[in-house]
Homo-oligomer: A and B are copies of this chain.
Amino acid sequence: MFQIPRGTRDFASEEMQKRNYVEGLMRKTFQSFGYREVQTPTFENLELFTAKSGDTIIEELYSFKDKSERDLALRPELTAPVIRFYVEKLQMEPKPLKLFYFGNCYRYDRPQKGRYREFKQAGCEIIGTDTPEAYAELIALAYEILKNAGLKNIKLNIGNLTILSSLFASLKLSKDQQKYLTPLIDKSMFDDVQKALEDFGIAKSISEDFVQMLQNSDIKQLMKYMKDDENIKNEMAKQEEIMKLLKDSFKIKNCQLKMSIVRGLDYYTGVVFEIEAPSLGAEKQLCGGGAYELVKLFGGNQTPTAGFAIGFDRTLLALETENYKFPTFKLDVYVIPVNQEMVPKSLEIVQTLREQAINVDIDLLRRGIGKSLKYASSISSKRAIIVGPKELESQSVTIRDMKTGEQKTVKIKDIVEFLK
């Protein structure tokens, strides 16, 4: 027996219904924000990903060679491919460009609970604007997508890497010291941050203020603390405006400043954000994004870019954790020819119903009425149509309500009307 590759999944029809349903809701929200869908290939030239993330990413990639011995890789994420697409073909389009996408991504991880080697992401990029309203709208979009997908319990945290860098700069830390601190900050291990700063010889009063600012959620306080830092005055005002627009114009209440969001410090710049579903525990992050720089690195003309990625699989998990009621697919009608001679006429009826966009299945195993009714029930058909010789004489069939068991004789020409 052959087995599915480790870390990947098969989706049965119940799961696919849920996935298509959620994807449809997400697509609608993207479109309502004026975003337009694009798609890029499943694999790219390997150098696209090493250019963005450095050579260390190779270990996490599925890579192989093409016929000209060029190195290719299954995409680990979708921003690099979409920006490659933009630089290669879309630079002349009117700005801002609002692009969204769904796509499977691939990572060569050790499989763990809730982490797969093939996983699905939804995401978007906005290219060509860096106004506060552009960033506020982008962040609101991420929030609305998850809300409209049906999630009740989500939290939006907003940070800023330009401001965080300035905070770091005030401590005069070495690169290595910063590198040691960032994962601790990212994991909100503030006691350890405090301890490390003391080990680095930072005065206690300064390190305590720093750690307090990392945990502070009041932007006014932060502005006061950093008031002498001329470099980030504008960035600070922008951050304040973004958060004001999110609260007042987009009416997002559970949105908080969180200066300890680190993400990729080399790649992101300015505002960053994360959305989490607290119900998921340790793996609670559903979405991450912000402003970043990639266009120039990929050979395009400098222009501002921002975007986010939503973990599709984790969003579904969060919906299930919240006991979300997904709509279930029900077959409208199951047709049962009582004997072999009834088959041609039965198929003719089936064909007529299907032309009216009615979902119809038919016994294809010549099972007889009893077994067929049982099967109709097992696949949750709403009704059964029984085609027998006696009824057929008067151009009629028997229609059975599978829930109540009620049966009625209906003229063939009236079936469509009867079903509606």
Q: Which residues of A contact B (CB under 8 A)?
A: 1-6, 8-13, 16-17, 19-20, 27-29, 31-34, 36-45, 47-48, 51, 62-64, 66-68, 70, 72, 74, 84-85, 87-90, 94-96, 98-99, 104, 106, 108, 110, 118, 126, 128-129, 131, 133-134, 136-137, 140, 144, 244-245, 248-251, 298-300, 329, 331, 334, 343-345, 347-348, 350-351, 354, 357-362, 364-366, 375, 378-379
Contact = CB atoms under 8 A, between A and B. Distances in A.
A299 B104 CA distance: 29
A32 B357 contact: yes
A184 to B, nearest CB: 29
19 contacts: A2-B47, A3-B45, A3-B84, A4-B40, A6-B68, A10-B38, A10-B41, A13-B36, A13-B99, A34-B362, A36-B329, A41-B118, A42-B106, A63-B64, A133-B343, A133-B347, A134-B364, A249-B348, A250-B351
A369 to B, nearest CB: 16
Contacts of A40: 4, 10-11
Overall SS of chain A's interface? mixed
Q: How many copies does the complex hold?
A: 2
Contacts of A62: 43, 64, 66, 72
B37 A20 contact: yes
B96 A364 contact: yes
Contact of A1 (B2, B104, B299): B299
A2 B299 CA distance: 8
Given A4-B88, A44-B5, A375-B94, A133 B351 contact: no
Contacts of A68: 6
A28 B357 contact: yes
B4 A34 contact: no
B137 A298 contact: no
